[in-house]
């Protein structure tokens, strides 16, 4: 935008009302003003006039003259030389095909990820699906790379969501539950990951004392299965555990954010999760969370091993279990632990493919 202060005067220098006519002169002859700016009326005082100049060349002249009583005879003109800067679009945008106007639209590479709504004025792109997008700006190479991937689990905020790609703080706003980083896979500085959810909160090491009651709960679980004979031999528990495992493995799909707490806790219990938000110790991250989820199944396997050893060397203990179908009880413990072990192996070996797009920006 070009702003010019203009005042028209008569032959003796008195200010007068006038119509200012303006044209754009460039080497290629391709240039224009915004509609309505070719003729502008000024009063008998200094008036500021705004111009939006578009030209195909890197330089042009804006020529102004006032309509006088003698029309074009002896007209008084003033010229302003201007130099255009190259059209630079924000990250995630690309210049459209307009040859004389800098208009930025969505980068075509983003459209394959269902990103088609971009606001040039706000420099934002709208994410409609559950995806995460990140940006790496290299100041030394004048190069910008952005990464697009499906957001894992429920780490990202609900969509639709507008994000400014050129700002790292804005990138982290895509993350929910106080998360940050690539694919929202980390907790913000000073926060710890919470078991049972994807949230990050402040934590202390006092929660380590919970390991003792949880160890007692393992013994109580074995006793509960034996006393009530709730085993896979009945068939019902087998189907219940199977479908609970399927639901837990796809929490983001089957358990939306507004799902009742009771249902989430029930699903967690069947999958040998705590069902409560516990961080255990300060600084716990995703790797530690996966390992902690392996502790309880490993503990159940240890209990099964002890039951087998005690039954072998103590007849009284074996007779006590013989009335409670110990084989079915041990099979139930294996079934409960199997899904946890399987998810642990998948979490340790899985990888995410990232779509990597690179743009070269000229400053």
Handedness of CA 229, 230, 231, 235 (dihedral sign): positive
Q: What is the dihedral of CA 284, 290, 291, 297, to 10 degrees?
A: 130
pLDDT, tens digit, for every residue of 223-234?
777 676 666 666
Burial class, 297, CB count within 10 angstroms (exposed 0-12 / middle 13-18 / buried 19+): buried
Residue 303 token pair: 């209990």
pLDDT at 216 (0 to 100): 78
Residue 117 token pair: 């709504």
Most confident of 51-55, 101-105, 157-161: 157-161
Cβ(118)–Cβ(125) under 8 Å? yes
pLDDT, tens digit, for every residue of 84-100?
877 788 888 888 877 66
Q: What average pLDDT does this structure show over 20-37?
A: 88
Cβ(189)–Cβ(208) under 8 Å? no
pLDDT, tens digit, for every residue of 304-359?
788 788 888 888 877 776 666 666 666 776 766 666 666 666 666 655 555 444 44
> Could you count the other beta carbons within 10 Å of the beta carbon of residue 333?
22
Q: What average pLDDT does this structure show over 166-172?
A: 78
pLDDT at 157 (0 to 100): 92
pTM here is 0.59
Q: What average pLDDT does this structure show over 96-117?
A: 79
* Closest to 174 (Cα-Cα) out of 186, 158, 187, 198: 158
Region 2-83: CATH code: 2.60.40
d(CA 266, CA 339) in angstroms, rounded, equals 16
CA 330 to chain CA mean position, Å: 43
Q: What average pLDDT does this structure show over 28-39?
A: 88
Residue 130 has pLDDT above 80, yes or no: yes
- Return the domain boundaries, the chain: 2-83, 93-189, 203-349
pLDDT at 360 (0 to 100): 40
Most confident of 86-95, 130-139, 255-264: 86-95
SS3 category, 344: helix
DSSP state of 63: E
* Closest to 134 (Cα-Cα) out of 121, 148, 122, 123: 148
């Amino acid at each position: 935008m070009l702003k010019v202060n203009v005042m028209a005067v008569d032959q003796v220098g008195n200010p007068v009302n006038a119509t200012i006519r303006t044209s754009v002169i460039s080497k290629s002859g391709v240039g224009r003003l915004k509609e309505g700016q070719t003729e502008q009326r000024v009063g008998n005082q200094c008036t500021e006039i705004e111009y939006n100049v578009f030209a195909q060349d890197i330089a042009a002249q804006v020529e102004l003259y006032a309509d006088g009583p003698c029309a074009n005879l002896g007209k008084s003109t003033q010229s302003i030389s201007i130099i255009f800067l190259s059209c630079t679009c924000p990250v995630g945008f690309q210049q459209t095909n307009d040859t004389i106007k800098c208009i930025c639209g969505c980068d075509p590479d983003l459209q394959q990820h269902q990103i088609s709504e971009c606001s040039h004025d706000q420099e934002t792109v709208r994410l409609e699906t559950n995806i995460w997008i990140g940006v790496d700006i290299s100041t030394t190479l004048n190069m910008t790379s952005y990464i697009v991937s499906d957001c894992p689990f429920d780490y990202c905020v609900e969509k639709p969501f507008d994000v400014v790609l050129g700002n790292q703080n804005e990138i982290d706003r895509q993350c929910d539950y106080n998360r940050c980083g690539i694919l929202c896979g980390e907790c913000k500085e000073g926060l710890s990951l919470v078991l049972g959810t994807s949230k990050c909160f402040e934590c202390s090491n006092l929660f380590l004392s919970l390991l003792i009651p949880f160890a007692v709960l393992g013994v109580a679980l074995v006793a509960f299965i034996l006393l009530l004979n709730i085993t896979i031999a009945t068939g019902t528990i087998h189907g219940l555990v199977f479908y609970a495992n399927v639901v837990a493995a796809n929490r983001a799909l089957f358990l939306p954010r507004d799902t009742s707490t009771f249902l989430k806790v029930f699903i967690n219990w069947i999958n040998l999760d705590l069902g409560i938000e516990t961080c255990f110790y300060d600084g716990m991250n995703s790797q530690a969370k996966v390992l902690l989820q392996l502790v309880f199944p490993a503990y159940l396997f240890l209990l099964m091993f002890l039951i087998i050893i005690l039954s072998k060397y103590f007849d009284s203990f074996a007779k006590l279990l013989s009335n409670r179908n110990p084989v079915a009880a041990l099979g139930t413990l294996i079934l409960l632990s199997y899904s946890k072990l399987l998810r642990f192996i998948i979490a340790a070996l899985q990888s995410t493919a990232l779509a990597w797009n690179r743009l070269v920006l000229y400053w």
